A and B are shown apart, each in its own frame.
Chain A
Amino acid sequence: MKIMIIDDSEIEIFVSTRLLRGAGMVSTIYTFLEAREGLDFLIRHKHDPETLPDIILLDIHMPLMNGFEFIQALEVAASPSIEKIKIYIVSSTADQREVQDSLNYRMVKQVFGKPLDVELLLNAISES
């Protein structure tokens, strides 16, 4: 399984990467500190399912381009391969409205709090 992590915090990326590696099942992890760069990567490979991730773990509050803007931009640039990607929001938000807003996007499957509970994530992935 290929996973992309987008989070502006290096510590969060470190934690998520280590927890995912610890759980196995993950072959490739792409990490981006800026949503824009993650987006460029996806668009560059939009017709290349071999490279595209299966899962994106996405933070909401980020400088420059936030999580919502990232999803909107990705929806505009979508290709059949991109549409297969499942997005899971991983956020420290305590704002229920934000959780609701996230779930309104078709590509978003679920919202997780931080720190990431890898077991819950893997269950969610296998169920969807």
Chain B
Amino acid sequence: MGIWLAYVLVLICIFIVSIEYLYLYALSSRTEARISEYNGTCVRIGEMIDTIVNAPTESSLRQALVFLKRYVGVDRTRMDILSGLLLKRLITENEEGNQNGLRALSAACDMVNPSAFYSSLLKTGDLYDKAYACRKISGFSRRQEISVIREFSHSKNRDLSYNAAMALSELGDESGLIDAIRDCQHNYEYSHRIIIELIQKYTGDMETLAKKVLCGISDDYIKTAVIKAVAKYRFQSLADIFTGLLTGTNVNLRAAALTALGALGDPAFQNDMITACTDPDWIIRLTAVKALKNIRTPESMQALSDAAQDAEWWVRNTAAKILVGMDTDLVYVERVLRNEDRRAADSILFALYQVCDMSR
């Protein structure tokens, strides 16, 4: 009985191995063919775009466009390649100021109409296709689809909701984006860096968006991310909101507010930062030191040289690096070096190594 079972097992194994061999052969041949076809298609479509951009006459342009449309058809791979290359080329031609090229590329977009293709994918594709289509549609700035994309931004599938939110941001849809950010309050799985990216890609009025989000959302995590995102735009009108947050208890939110105030570079806020340089929490001290980078006054330089003697390694070294960068006369730097605090002197020395070529 056992032997018969063993024979059966051998036969089953031989059968599976044979199937595996056949499948492997088919799979590897298909993969090779697909890659070679993909590379060939990329080259071919690239050449077609070149022909369109450099078409000498209207009729040759029209002929090239018809040929491109016929070649791409409704093939998904070809459309993906075309849309990618078209967007890239549009950016290049725009940077070079080639008006004829831009006009020809716009004609290609109208003729092949990739944005309509991706709009239909929004309706017919699976979740991942829809997510991909959101990205493509935002690339082509097709605002007609905003209402559909808004719905997707609330999807439980994180790939879809993420791509939809990013598309809304790039399409400049304020209320859609605010809703998507509000959704993040219930989904802390995203790093705050994704929320920052989401805001920084916004193509609408950033100042209004920031005000609405900061006033309309109570969640500290989201607020912190929003403040970090808008800090670099230096909106003076938000200064009151930032200063109001300095007295709160949430360390991350206070740090973000300090960063945003620092980015404004306004000496009117330097006292807030100098006070924060002596805060018991080292993260606040570190942020205050970084914030002082944009305010070059004797008071801020003094605060930085004091911070170069901080007990915390990060605060000390960051202060030293900033001080070396700001103190061109080396007055404060020399003062710290003469000081008896060896740790502070070491930090200054390391900062100097990072800006001076000591190999000579």
Task: Decide whether A and B are members of one complex.
Answer: no
